[in-house]
């Protein structure tokens, strides 16, 4: 019964299942295991705060939804102290929220040791197994989760906009390197063409052949082209078989993040950490012997 | 001989020792263990990119150096892909660099799973044991290491400046909550007073009693007051005995970060992760039984 509701993508049941995934990882994993395998693709979206990410995700999801069922996970950075997420940007996703072919959910990134919360990996898997074909994961671009999106997503869209000028900071933080598609949003604002040139110069410098596209998320201009580009990049991954590698990579980092989270939750005592350290060191020695 | 050179704070030998800590953690830890215990305090500095952190750290270190020997670790975010750090902001530390009572070092933050690199914890310990009484750790404010500074430092200075306007992003990322002292730099720029009010409102809202101070790092205005405030806060920690708690906390997170780094370096294979997961789960069960 519950499984049927999930497989029919009943939003209420999906919501409940995601809450389980967030609050009770063990029950969440059992639920995920009870669902059949499906094909799905994960599109990561990250970039400058203020570049118009949410608006663009809204548009992109709407465009994709004409051929696919789409889910959006909007990651809000959570405070390491209160544990809660400050929501809010979701108002920019009005098209998606009104479209019943698109499921939208905010999640907290959590994690004191960093990395994306394992709950986010679980949520992606749940949504994929429920039948959402394209899952867009948007990080808010204010902290820890930018570069981790690479481990979760099949392709990453890096969204920039003229006039923000934080490319150097992003370059420093390694964020400029993670795009599979570079999107210069607010294309009608002064400096858009020059930003495109900067990105192209950077890509040439690091010898990476990636697409750069101009969009206007507010008017929707070029969003169809961006959508086609996303489909093209995904097709390439499928044709070359690289998609399997991406999936294995995702599974690996899912496990790694789960382990680090368990350690940080249950081992944060001197003695326990010592025991664990001993195990790790001996394990490695055993391997080499 | 080597130990003597280190204890006399010979900059060349200290530099070499830090390189060992960065490149060969095991040899680094042995070196640290061979040094006697010392009293030292760790001052974390973080905040907005462009708020003038490096200039202020330069001034603060100079001020502190009249009574103490001071070391600065400037953390540059490293690219998760190239592994290298992009340096550069160090030109803003000209006073400190010319002052032979102040030792300055840039380090990469590293760490794919996030958190501060264990090498940074090691470096702090090494410098402290070499006899530096005040160790300032500055994070560049462009990514993962902001909130982690809390685990490393005895007190945290959060540096903001008018006209940057990323308080909301910092609030979202939990960075606004981590200050023990709030510094509004560029005090002569329009909007400084209003920023102070915003910070005070936020502190009142979350019921935290923290000092807010205005500075001008370029002219050096109020840096003496900031320095006095830092000393006052440290004295409070010492008097209340809280400093021991901070130290234990630092040790714990040092260990935790080391473990997560080892796991991510040596266990990133399905089977190894499975074995580790099994150990962690059973360990926990054993505890409860």
| pLDDT tens, position by position, B173-186 | 677 888 999 999 99
Beta carbons of B89 and B198 less than 8 angstroms apart: no
Q: What are the backbone angles phi and psi of residue B148, rounded to the nearest 5°?
A: -70, -20
What's the average model confidence in pLDDT over B127-142? 88
Distance of CA A153 to the CA centre of its chain: 6
Q: What are the backbone angles phi and psi of residue A84, rounded to the nearest 5°?
A: -95, 160
Ordered mean pLDDT values, 10 residues apiece, chain A (289 residues): 89 93 89 95 89 92 96 72 44 79 82 68 96 91 64 94 78 78 96 93 88 96 97 97 93 87 84 89 62
Q: Is CATH 3.40.50.300 what the domain over A34-288 is classified as, yes or no?
A: yes
Contacts of A111 in chain B (CB under 8 A): 114
Nearest to B18 by CA among B99, B113, B98, B135: B135
Beta carbons of B234 and B41 less than 8 angstroms apart: yes
Beta carbons of B115 and B33 less than 8 angstroms apart: no
Whether A87 has its CB under 8 Å from any CB of chain B: the answer is: no
| pLDDT tens, position by position, B219-271 | 999 999 999 999 999 999 999 999 999 999 999 988 888 888 888 878 888 89
Whether B86 has its CB under 8 Å from any CB of chain A: the answer is: yes
Measured CA to CA, the distance from residue B162 to residue B152 in angstroms comes to 27
Beta carbons of A100 and A65 less than 8 angstroms apart: no
Beta carbons of B177 and A207 less than 8 angstroms apart: no
Determine which of B210, B268, B270, B280 to mutate to test the interface with A (most A C-beta atoms within 10 Å): B280
What is the distance between the terminal CA atoms of chain A, rounded to a whole angstrom? 52
Residue B110 scores a pLDDT above 60? no
Has the ipTM of the complex gone over 0.85?
Answer: no
Measured CA to CA, the distance from residue A216 to residue A188 in angstroms comes to 7
Q: Which residues pair with B158 in a beta bridge?
A: B46, B182
Fold type of domain B35-288: Rossmann fold (3.40.50)
List all residues of chain B from 141 to 160 with a beta carbon under 8 Å from chain A: 141-144, 146-148, 150
Q: What tokens were used for B276?
A: 């580790």
- pLDDT of amino acid A82: 39
**Contact assignment for A81 to B177 by CB distance below 8 Å:** yes
Q: Which residues pair with A102 in a beta bridge?
A: A70
**Contact assignment for B259 to A268 by CB distance below 8 Å:** no
């Amino acid at each position: 019964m519950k499984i049927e509701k999930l497989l029919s993508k009943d939003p209420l049941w999906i919501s409940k299942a995601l809450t389980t995934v967030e609050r009770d990882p063990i029950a969440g994993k059992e639920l995920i295991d009870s669902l059949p395998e499906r094909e799905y693709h994960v599109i990561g979206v990250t970039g400058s705060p203020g570049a118009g990410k949410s608006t663009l995700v809204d548009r992109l999801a709407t465009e994709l939804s004409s051929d696919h069922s789409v889910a959006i996970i909007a990651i809000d950075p959570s405070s390491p102290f209160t544990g809660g997420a400050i929501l809010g940007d979701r108002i920019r996703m009005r098209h998606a929220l009104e479209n019943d072919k698109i499921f939208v959910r905010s999640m907290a990134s959590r994690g004191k040791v960093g990395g994306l919360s394992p709950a986010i990996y679980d949520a992606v898997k749940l949504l994929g197994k429920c039948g959402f074909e394209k899952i867009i994961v948007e990080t808010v671009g204010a902290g820890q989760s930018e570069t981790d999106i690479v481990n979760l997503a099949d392709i990453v869209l890096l969204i920039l906009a003229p006039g923000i000028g934080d490319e150097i900071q992003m370059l420093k933080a390694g964020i400029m390197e993670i795009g599979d598609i570079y999107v210069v949003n607010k294309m009608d604002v002064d400096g858009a063409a020059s930003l495109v040139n900067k990105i192209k110069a950077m890509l040439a410098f690091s010898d990476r052949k990636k697409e750069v596209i101009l969009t206007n998320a507010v008017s929707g201009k070029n969003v169809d082209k961006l959508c086609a580009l996303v489909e093209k990049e995904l097709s390439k991954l499928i044709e070359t078989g690289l998609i399997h590698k991406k999936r294995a990579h995702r599974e690996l980092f899912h496990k790694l993040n789960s382990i680090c989270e368990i350690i940080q939750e249950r081992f944060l005592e001197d003695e326990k950490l010592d025991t664990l350290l001993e195990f790790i060191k001996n394990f490695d020695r055993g391997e080499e012997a």
